[in-house]
Structure 1
């Protein structure tokens, strides 16, 4: 079983650490690093999944990769990225509550600036409910949101990359 997950551990941890570094560095340059960090996640997750699957195929499985093996290795990879990202962001925001307050106020301001557009598309009640949920946001909400947006594209890219790299023995 370890042969299946050696590459997943390696590239999942690497991707998670890169995601944390991204969040930390972006927090110095932008008052709300969450949006740009999500975009960085859309880049790092597929690269990490691809490298994990390619490494597994070439170095652990004699050049073969079934779809099921690809999905298993990919799942562990993107889940590790999400878990490390969640824990790191949660710890960082817990240690820096001022950064969390800046993120929260930035999201409230963005929502207020877009009020007319949002109300015209989804209605006043939806806007008010969204504004209330953002005002009640806690640190774990920011971390969970980041983790979810590592898992969703991770699943999508794992399926595609597993199909592309699939090679079964004859």
Structure 2
């Protein structure tokens, strides 16, 4: 592979995916269920930010003579996000299938969390929506958790990638 954009994205994406999987497993065993973390406080913001930043900076500074177009940043960062999210989602699927407590602890913790909602919040979101979500929890399986994790990862990575692609872009001076 002679394309440094693709080569760097694959390399950084693989490492980010393995790191994200390790963090998921570590969080679970430290007592913080990874599926219970708010997307706004998700560790993937930092992981994607670090790996996209260093990948695009390396591409710009060492392979392209200080030039990086926005579209190159979006493609490179997008590949990193996609690869890392696929790898960590597969890792989550394998871990969740192997660790029997993973789904059951999620269901218990989410049920306990939903039962702490004040009546005002329940009225705001709608009693029927609240009840439907609460009654659907026992049917949750690892596949549903992985699908949610994957979708959140793509969304988080997309926004992080836009910001870093704008920050790191440099066009040739005319």
With normalisation by structure 1, the TM-score equals 0.90
Report matched runs for 1:96-111 at 5 Å: 96-111=99-114
Q: Is the 8 A contact 2:70 2:166 kept in 1?
A: yes
Runs in 1 of length 4+ with deviation above 4 angstroms? none
Q: Is the 8 A contact 1:16 1:81 kept in 2?
A: yes
Which of 47, 51, 54 is 1:51 aligned to? Answer: 54
Report matched runs for 1:130-145 at 5 Å: 130-145=133-148
TM-align CA RMSD: 1.8
Shift, 1:121, TM fit: 1.4
SS in 2 for 1:114: coil
Shift, 1:71, TM fit: 0.5
Number of the residue aligned with 1:15: 16
Which of 143, 147, 150 is 2:150 aligned to? Answer: 147
Q: Is the 8 A contact 1:26 1:36 kept in 2?
A: no
Of Structure 1 and Structure 2, the greater helix share is in 1
Q: Is the 8 A contact 1:118 1:127 kept in 2?
A: no
Number of the residue aligned with 2:124: 121
Unaligned runs of at least 5 residues, structure 2? none
Number of the residue aligned with 2:69: 66
> How many equivalent pairs are there?
170
Q: Is the 8 A contact 1:31 1:106 kept in 2?
A: no
With normalisation by structure 2, the TM-score equals 0.88
